[in-house]
Structure formats: C-alpha cells, structure tokens
C-alpha cells in the first residue's frame, strides 16, 4: 500500500465529494421537508458509495485480469449498445438508457471502458504496427464501431468522446499527416459554419498557391506577390467584397500553377489541385448537412457556439447566457456555499448535470473554479505519468485512453458553460449528477490506479 497512488485516489475522492456538495446545492431549498434520499443529492449519494467501493475494490484485481478480459468486456459493451437501440428508453431525444425501477443506466459509459481495454490489448500485441494499414484500420474500427452505435442512439456528445480515444494511436506513432488532416477538416468545418462555404474557397486557393511557390526556388517576386495577395484579400474581406477576394485567389492560384509548370513541378500542381477540390467538397458537404440534414435543435447548439449574435437570448441562447451570468456573478471568492441566488432560483437549466460548473463559479468564485480545474489537470498529468513509467504496453495504452476521455469531458463541459464549446450534453467527470457517469469514470480511473500499483508491486518482487 506504500506504493499505492494516494494522490490520484485523493483527487478523485475530492472531486466526487465536490460533486455531491454541488448537486445538493443545486436542489437546496431551506424550507423543504422532503426526505434526503428522495432528493437528487440523496439518490446521487447511493452512487457515490458504489463509486467509492469500485475505486477501492478495483485495487484487489491484478492488471493481468483486465488484459485477459479486454475483448470479452468489449463484446459485452457492444451487445449492450445494440440492445439499448431495441429496448432502451428515450430520454431527451436520445435512446441510450436502460430504465430499471427508479434508476437509469447508460451503457455507453461502460462501453468507454471496454473500448479502451480492447484497443490497449490490440495495441500491446507484439506484431501490431500502426505503419501497417491493416493494423491501423483494425485499431480505428475498435474505436469507431461503438462511436457509430452511440451516434445511432442520438447521443452525438458521447459519440464524439469515443473519438478522443484516438489519442492512444497518436502516442504510439500514428503518421503525422492523419492528425494534421483531422485538424484541417475541423477548421474548415468551423469556418464554413461561422462565415460561409465560399469563404473557404479563397483560403484554400491562397494557401495552395503559397505552398506551390514555397516549393520553387526562392525568388523575392514570389514572396512579394504572396504578401500582396494576402493583404489585398484581407482588406477586401473587411469590406465584404467576397467576389473580388475569390477572383484574386483564383488568379493567384493560376499564377502559382504556371510558375510550377515552368519549373517542372507538374505532379505537385495536380495533387494540390485535387486536394483543394476535395477539401472544398468537404466544406460544401458540411454546409449542406448542417442546413438540410440536422434537426433544428441540433443547429441551435452549433449556432449558439459559433453565431451567438444570431440566436434568440430567450430561446436557444438562454442556457449559455444564464450560465455565464452565474459564473461571472461569483466574482473572486463567490457568494458562499448554498448562497447562490441564481442557483436557488433555478435560473440555469440542467444546473446539476451539464451546467454544474456554473454553481461552482457562482458560489465559490474564481478561486473555487480554478481549484477544480487544477485538480483535474493534476489528475490527468499523473495519469500520463503512470502511462509513461509503465513498462507494460497494455498499461501505457490504457492510461492514454483514460486521459483522452477525461480531457474531452473536462474541456467540453467547462467550455460549454462559458460559451467556448458547443452544448453537446456531456457531464463533468465525478461532479455532474448521474449514476452511470460516476460509476463509469470511477471504474476507468480505479482500474488504472490498480494497474499502476500492481505493476509497481510486481517490479519489486522481481
């Protein structure tokens, strides 16, 4: 027990206690006579006891058990994801819950554990190489299959979380062009929805032209022309002369292509032109899907993030405005525990689940909010350290999978309460109300801490 990671364990327990206190504050009414166990905090306290039991009980299981049980665990989780589509209960438009008595269970939380285990087991096989296309496709499939099943349930937020498990592949040497391409596609998606699809075209043309000219012999005229095009395009964009910007970008691309032809760089011109066409096609498709495929409430979630000035402050923008107001009203030290006026009056919808961070901001201010962020950062850094010091590949892969999931939940949940991220409805780990979420994260982290302790102990014996 001397080698047990008491710091990580203490941070997790602290976050769970903070969460229970904030859930109690969310429903606190000084004149209520409702029994404690009938309240939301009372129900959550039952799951807190179960979570603590999981955190401590997982330490009794050796890491080799999880390694051997990885694929069966993954198969069971996939079966539950399929089963919930057939017999599951629909809550808030998402058919992703099993309803058992007065409690509900979300199998996607269990599937996160199973997916990370299965990927860690596959990646730790001595013949697995990400440079091999077949191995890369299998590893990607392990992640994408549950993500697609969760997306079919109508839970886009949880589906996005599964994609964060790709962090394991990045750590293990996935080709650099893959994350770069993902970043470029994400940027194009944002620019397309923030501005207009035809704003993307001149950006691609100018970037492509500069790329072609950089590959040629360095000439001052190339740099001068590139700089002139950039400055002139920015000035015209400020005055909203999009047609002129497109015309200039096309002319610049033609100029760069001609220069490349004269320097016998024909292959580069053809490949780059094809790449620009494909990227613009992606941008146009994204715009079409957003406008014609997504439902109105899904469009509102993205518009609240990218175009809040076009949203109704009493409609889709209401949650974000109230959340930001609650956080800002806390000031430096907050109004005090159970003294949050906006919390008591229930101004912030879903304040015990998706927007629980607004209660922390209102009642405990900047200091309390930063304390929670620091606890999460320390926990994730320690998990990275566990992965890096483990000599067993399975533990390292599992650790990075857990960090990816935790970081995504942490970043998106806190970001959406402040309007920095789209509202996609994923909980803040260990803090938001919800038994499935709490038990799922407790199992994720408990297994990792037990793996670290088991491996340290086994090294001492050796």
Q: Which strands sit side by side in the sheet containing 103-105, from one edge to the other?
A: 89-91, 94-100, 103-105
Burial of 30 (0-12, 13-18, 19+ CB in 10 A): exposed
This prediction has a pTM of 0.89
Q: What values do phi and psi take at 91, rounded to 5?
A: -130, 120
Q: Is residue 74 a contact partner of residue 149, using CB atoms and an 8 Å limit?
A: no
126 vs 432: CA distance, rounded Å: 39
Q: Could you list the pLDDT tens digit for every one of the 462 residues in the chain? A: 667 788 999 999 999 999 999 999 988 887 777 888 788 899 999 999 999 999 988 888 887 888 889 999 999 999 999 999 998 888 777 788 888 777 788 999 999 999 999 999 999 886 778 888 899 999 999 999 999 999 998 888 899 999 999 989 988 878 788 888 888 999 999 999 888 888 898 999 999 999 888 877 667 778 888 899 999 999 988 888 888 999 999 999 999 999 888 888 888 889 999 999 999 999 999 999 988 887 787 788 888 888 888 777 777 788 889 999 999 999 999 999 999 888 878 888 888 888 999 999 999 999 999 999 999 999 999 999 999 988 889 999 999 999 999 999 999 999 999 988 888 889 999 999 988 999 999 999 999 998 887 655 545 443
69 Cβ neighbours under 8 A, 6+ residues apart: 117
37 secondary structure, DSSP code: G
pLDDT at 455: 57
Q: What is the pLDDT of residue 162?
A: 94
As given in the structure block, the two tokens for residue 420 are 């920095």
Query: How does DSSP assign 67-109, residue by residue?
Result: HHTHHHHHHHHHHHHHHHHHHPEEETTEEEEEEETTEEE-HHH
Comparing C-alpha atoms, which of 103, 119, 105, 108 is closest to residue 79?
108
Query: From the CB of residue 302, how many other CB atoms can be counted at a distance below 10 Å?
Result: 18
E strands in 133-173: none
- Per the CB < 8 A criterion, the answer to whether 394 and 165 are in contact is no
**What is the structure's pLDDT at 359?**
94
DSSP3 helix / strand / coil % (the chain, rounded to 5): 75, 5, 25
Q: What is the DSSP letter of 166?
A: G
* CA distance readout (Å), 392 to 103, 139, 197, 396, 401: 38, 19, 47, 7, 15
Closest residue by Cα to residue 40 from 359, 272, 267: 359
Of 336, 326, 331, 428, the C-alpha closest to 376 is 428
Q: Beta-carbon neighbour count of residue 108 at 10 Å?
A: 28
In terms of Cα–Cα distance, which of 164, 433, 437, 157 is closest to 301? 157
Are 273 and 280 in contact, with CB atoms under 8 Å apart? Answer: no
């Amino acid at each position: 027990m001397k080698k047990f990671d008491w710091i990580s364990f203490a941070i997790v327990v602290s976050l769970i206690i903070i969460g229970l206190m904030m859930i109690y504050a969310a429903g606190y009414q000084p004149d209520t006579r409702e029994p404690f166990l009938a309240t939301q905090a009372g129900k959550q306290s039952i799951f807190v006891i179960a979570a603590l039991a999981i955190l401590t009980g997982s330490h009794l299981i050796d890491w080799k058990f999880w390694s051997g049980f990885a694929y069966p665990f993954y198969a069971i989780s996939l079966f539950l994801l399929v089963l919930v589509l057939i017999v599951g209960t629909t809550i808030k438009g998402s058919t992703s819950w099993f309803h058992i008595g007065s409690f509900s269970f979300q199998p996607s939380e269990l599937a996160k554990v199973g997916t990370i285990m299965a990927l860690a087991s596959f990646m730790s096989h001595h013949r697995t190489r990400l440079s091999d296309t077949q191995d890369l496709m299998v590893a990607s499939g392990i992640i994408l299959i549950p993500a697609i099943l969760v997306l079919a349930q109508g839970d886009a937020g949880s589906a996005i979380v599964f994609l964060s498990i790709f962090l394991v592949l990045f750590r293990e040497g996935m080709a650099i062009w893959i994350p770069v391409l993902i970043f470029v596609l994400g940027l194009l998606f944002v620019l397309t929805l923030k501005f207009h699809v035809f704003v993307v075209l001149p950006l691609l043309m100018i970037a492509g032209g500069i790329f072609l000219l950089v590959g040629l012999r360095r000439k001052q005229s190339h740099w001068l022309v590139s700089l002139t095009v950039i400055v002139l395009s920015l000035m015209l964009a400020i005055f909203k002369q999009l047609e002129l910007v497109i015309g200039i970008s096309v002319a610049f691309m033609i100029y760069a292509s001609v220069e490349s032809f004269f320097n016998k760089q024909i292959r580069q011109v053809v490949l780059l032109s094809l790449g620009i066409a494909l990227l613009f096609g992606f941008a146009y498709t994204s715009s079409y899907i957003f406008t014609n495929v997504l439902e109105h409430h899904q469009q509102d979630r993205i518009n609240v993030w990218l175009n809040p000035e076009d949203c109704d402050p009493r409609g889709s923008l209401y949650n974000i405005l109230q959340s930001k107001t609650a956080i800002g009203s806390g000031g430096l030290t907050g109004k005090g525990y159970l003294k949050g006026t906006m919390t008591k009056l229930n101004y912030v919808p879903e304040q015990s689940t998706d927007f629980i961070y607004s209660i922390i901001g209102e009642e405990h201010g900047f200091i309390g909010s930063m304390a929670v962020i620091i606890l999460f950062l320390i926990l994730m850094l320690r998990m990275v350290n566990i992965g890096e010091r483990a000599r067993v590949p399975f533990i390292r892969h599992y650790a990075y999978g857990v960090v990816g999931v935790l970081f995504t939940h942490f970043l998106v949940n806190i970001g959406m309460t402040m309007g920095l991220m789209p509202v996609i409805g994923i909980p803040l780990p260990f803090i938001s109300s919800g038994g499935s979420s709490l038990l799922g994260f407790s199992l994720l982290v408990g297994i990792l801490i037990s793996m670290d302790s088991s491996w340290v102990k086994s090294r001492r014996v050796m």
